[in-house]
C-alpha cells in the first residue's frame, strides 16, 4: 500500500515540477530525490500517513482547480473558434458570390469589346424614350434583333444602369450599324 502511495506522490510531484501545480512539500521533494520506491517509513520516518493524506488531498485540490481553469479556457477557445469558422464561412460565401458576379460581368465585357470597336467608328442618332419602351424593344425596332441591345447599352452605358432600365424622357444615342432601320415614331435629334 505504501509503495502505491509513493508512486502516487511521485506522480503528483512530477506534475508539480512541470508547473502544473504548486508544491509546498519539502518532505516530498526530499523523498523523491532518490527514485528507489522502498518502504516510505525506512526513507523518511518523520512523515506520517496523515501527512501523506494531507499532501495528496492538497495536490488533488490543486489538480482539480487546474483542470477546471483549463477546461474553462478550452471552452472559451472552442467557442471563439466556432465563431471564427462561422465568420469565415459567411465571408467565403460572400466572396464566392462576388467572384461569380465579376466573372459574369467579365464575360459580358469580353463580348462587348468587339461591339465597342464598331461603336467607336459608327455614327448615331439621338432619340428620346417614350411610351415605356425598354432597351430590347429599341434593339428590335432599330436592328430587327433583340440581342443587339448591347450596342445601345454600350453607346449609353453612362446613362443606362446595369439593370438596363429605361425611363420616359431619357435621351439615348442609337448607333447606326448594319442592319439599321430609321423609325419615324422616335424623334431624331441628330
Look at the pTM and tell me if it is higher than 0.85. Answer: no
User: Is it the case that residue 6 has pLDDT exceeding 70?
Assistant: no
Q: What 3-state DSSP class applies to 124?
A: strand
With cut-offs at 50, 70 and 90, classify the pLDDT of residue 3: low
Q: Are 47 and 31 in contact (CB under 8 A)?
A: yes
What is the C-alpha separation between 143 and 174, in angstroms, rounded?
Answer: 10
User: Is it the case that residue 97 has pLDDT exceeding 70?
Assistant: yes
**Most confident of the ranges 66-80, 107-121, 144-158, 169-183:** 66-80
| CATH domain 122-176 topology | Membrane-bound Lytic Murein Transglycosylase D; Chain A (3.10.350)
| All structural domains of the chain with their residue ranges | 2-69, 122-176
* Residues 168-187, mean pLDDT to the nearest whole number: 72
DSSP 123: E
What average pLDDT does the chain have?
Answer: 76
Amino acid at each position: 500500500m505504501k509503495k502505491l502511495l509513493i508512486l502516487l506522490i511521485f506522480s503528483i510531484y512530477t506534475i508539480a515540477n512541470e508547473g502544473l501545480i504548486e508544491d509546498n512539500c519539502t518532505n516530498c521533494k526530499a523523498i523523491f530525490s532518490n527514485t528507489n520506491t522502498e518502504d516510505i517509513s525506512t526513507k523518511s520516518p518523520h512523515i506520517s500517513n496523515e501527512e501523506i493524506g494531507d499532501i495528496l488531498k492538497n495536490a488533488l485540490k490543486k489538480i482539480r482547480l487546474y483542470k477546471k481553469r483549463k477546461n474553462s479556457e478550452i471552452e472559451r477557445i472552442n467557442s471563439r473558434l466556432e465563431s471564427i469558422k462561422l465568420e469565415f464561412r459567411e465571408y467565403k460565401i460572400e466572396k464566392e458570390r462576388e467572384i461569380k458576379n465579376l466573372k459574369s460581368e467579365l464575360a459580358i465585357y469580353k463580348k462587348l469589346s468587339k461591339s465597342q470597336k464598331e461603336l467607336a467608328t459608327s455614327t448615331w442618332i439621338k432619340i428620346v424614350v417614350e411610351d415605356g419602351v425598354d432597351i430590347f424593344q429599341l434593339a428590335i425596332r432599330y436592328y430587327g434583333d433583340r440581342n443587339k441591345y448591347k450596342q445601345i447599352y454600350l453607346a449609353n452605358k453612362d446613362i443606362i444602369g446595369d439593370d438596363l432600365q429605361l425611363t420616359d424622357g431619357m435621351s439615348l444615342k442609337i448607333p447606326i450599324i448594319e442592319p439599321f432601320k430609321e423609325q419615324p415614331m422616335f424623334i431624331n435629334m441628330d
